[in-house]
Amino acid sequence: MQGVNSTVKAKVKYKKRHPSFASRFKSNLPLLLFVIPGAIWMIFFFYIPIFANVVAFQDFHFSAGGFLESLRTSSWVGFKNFEFLFSSNAAWVITRNTLLYNLGFIVLNLIISVFFAIVMSQLRNKRLIKVYQTSMLLPYFLSWVVISYFVYAFISPNQGLINSLLTGSGGKAISWYNAPQYWPFILLFIGTWKSIGYNSILYFASAMGVDPTLYEAAEIDGANKWQQIKHVTIPALVPLMTLMTILAIGNIFRADFGLFYQVPQNSGSLYNVTSVLDTYIFNGLTSTGDIGMSSAAALYQSFVGFVLLMISNAVVRKIDPDSALF
């Protein structure tokens, strides 16, 4: 509140047109300065380049004058670049797969990582927690290619560990990469397994932030462990859970490309259960390399995500305004 005197003059000057702007600006200035670096970054790495997405509605041709000149001279084709996403029988399959797998991941991730986070926050052996966390995070920073080799070691048709076990015990070897019925489970398992470490650490940080006096109070009230978790820990995690879910819903039309492309080794006979939007776009566009169509696909995914995010946020705001994103 100091410095008010010194700005009185300035305030008076602006008073007529903007009654509170100057003072409000002044009092918000420090926080505004905190935002500035991030905001500038967003301008350069998002808000400027995002305009190039108009190419999704164009038949892009190069012009000697550079990219902008090319954008200016290319002809407009409306929604023609979007057609390939809807025009074949595969459209239904890929949309279904993308949605169902992502829903599966949202549910599984939420339940399992919150469970792990709570368990870790309650364990007595702090050293072991460290070890667990270190190892759980490992898959998160291995690339999908590496994980696909790992999966291959288990289920390769000739020398895979599982097939060796099957034939060893008198069973019949399974040609895994040609057997679509197993893949929904394999993919859900691998996808969840890889991201559990990341997510449970996020929740763990939040669970450790819970004020310990709350537990003490609960204990004094005679609450057992389960009741403590239910009434103290979980409510403390709800905002983060809500946030993660809303954000995941916003990305529900984006599939993890590596999981669906590398792990099933892009095997044709599995397409009915492994084909998702991202792999379809990749497989279709690598040879033509049409930037109009690839921006169209990205725009489509973003737009659906945007709508879903708005809806889920509105629902959350109705129930618990504090947890809503905006």
Partner 1 sequence: MKRWVKGLLATAAVLGVGLTIAGCSSKKAADSSDTKTLTMYQIGDKPKNYDALMAKTNKILKKKANAKLKINYIGFGDYAKKMSVIVSSGESYDIAKADNYVVNAQKGAYADLTKLLPKYASKAYKSLDPAYIQGNKVNGKLYAMPINANVYRTQTIAFNNSYLKKYNIDISKVNSYKTLEPVLKKIHAVEPNVVAFKATKGFVAESGFDYPLTDKMPFAVDITDGGNANKIVNPYDSARTQTNLAYLHKFYQKGYIPQDAATNSKEYGLSSKTWFARQELVGPYDYGNQALSTASGEKNGIVTKKISTPLKTTGQAQMFNWVVSNSSQNKELAVKVLGIMNSDPELLNGLVWGEEGDAWEKTDQKDKIKLLKGYAADRSMGAWMTGDNSILYTTTDVTDKMIKERKDSIASAKTSPILGFNPDTSKIKTQITNIQNVMNQYGDQLNTGTADPKPTIKKMNKALKTAGYDEVRAELQKQYDKFRQSK
Partner 2 sequence: MRQPKKQISSVEVRSFGHKSNLFFNILLAIFAFSCLLPLIFIIIISLTSEQSLLADGYQFFPKHWSLAGYEYLATMGGQLLNALGITVLVTVFGTLVNATFTSTYAYSISRSSFKYRKFFTVFCLITMLFTPGMVANYIVMTNLLQLKDTIWALILPLAVSPFNIIVMRTFFKRQVNESIIEAARIDGAGEMRIFLKIVLPLAVPGIATISLFAALGYWNDWFNALLYIQDSHLVPLQYLLMKIQSNIEMLTQNAAQGAQYAGGMANIPQEATRMAMVVISVLPIAISYPFFQKYFVKGLTIGGVKE
By CB under 8 A, the residues from 12 to 71 that bind partner 2 are: 24, 28, 30-32, 34-35, 37-39, 41-42, 44-53, 55, 67
Residue type, 272: N
The whole-angstrom distance between residue 217's C-alpha and the CA centroid of its chain comes to 37
Size of the site for partner 1 (CB under 8 A): 49
Q: How far is the CB of 19 from partner 1 (least distance, A)?
A: 15
By CB under 8 A, the residues from 247 to 286 that bind partner 1 are: 264-269, 271, 275, 280, 283-285
Residue 14 CA to residue 19 CA, distance in Å, equals 7
Which span sits near partner 2 by CB under 8 A: 77-85, 165-173, 243-251, 271-279? 243-251
Which H helix or E strand runs over 58? Answer: strand 58-59
By CB under 8 A, the residues from 115 to 134 that bind partner 2 are: 116, 119-126, 128-134
Residue closer to partner 1 by CB (options 62, 141) is 62
299 binds, among partner 2, partner 1, none (CB under 5 to 8 A by kind): partner 2
Q: Does 324 bind partner 2 (CB under 8 A)?
A: no
Which span sits near partner 1 by CB under 8 A: 51-59, 114-122, 190-198, 310-318? 51-59
Q: How far is the CB of 272 from partner 2 (least distance, A)?
A: 26
Identify the residue among 166, 291, 308, 310 touching partner 1 (CB under 8 A). Answer: 291
Of 244, 148, 233, 162, give the one whose Cα is nearest residue 198: 244
DSSP H helical ranges for 123-182: 126-137, 144-155, 161-168
DSSP letters spanning 251-307: TTT---HHHHHTTTTT-GGGHHHH--HHHHHHHHHTTT--HHHHHHHHHHHHHHHHH
Asked if 156 contacts 263 with a C-beta cutoff of 8 angstroms, the reply is no
Strand partners, 75: 59
By CB under 8 A, the residues from 73 to 102 that bind partner 1 are: 80, 83-84, 87-90
Tracing tokens 């829903």 back to the chain, one arrives at 103
How far apart, in Å, are the Cα atoms of 68 and each of 52, 74, 292? 9, 10, 14
DSSP letters spanning 150-208: HHHHHH-TTT-HHHHHHHHTT-----GGG-GGGHHHHHHHHHHHHHHHHHHHHHHHHHH
Residue closer to partner 2 by CB (options 253, 271) is 253
End-to-end C-alpha distance for the chain, whole angstroms: 29
Asked if 279 contacts 266 with a C-beta cutoff of 8 angstroms, the reply is yes
Identify the residue among 25, 47, 149, 185 touching partner 1 (CB under 8 A). Answer: 47
Q: Does 122 bind partner 1 (CB under 8 A)?
A: no
Identify the residue among 51, 140, 150, 306 touching partner 1 (CB under 8 A). Answer: 51
Q: Does 250 bind partner 2 (CB under 8 A)?
A: yes
By CB under 8 A, the residues from 131 to 190 that bind partner 1 are: 156-158, 175, 177-178
Q: How far is the CB of 323 from partner 2 (least distance, A)?
A: 8
The residue ranges that bind partner 1 (CB under 8 A) are: 43, 47-49, 51-52, 59-70, 80, 83-84, 87-90, 156-158, 175, 177-178, 264-269, 271, 275, 280, 283-285, 287-291, 293
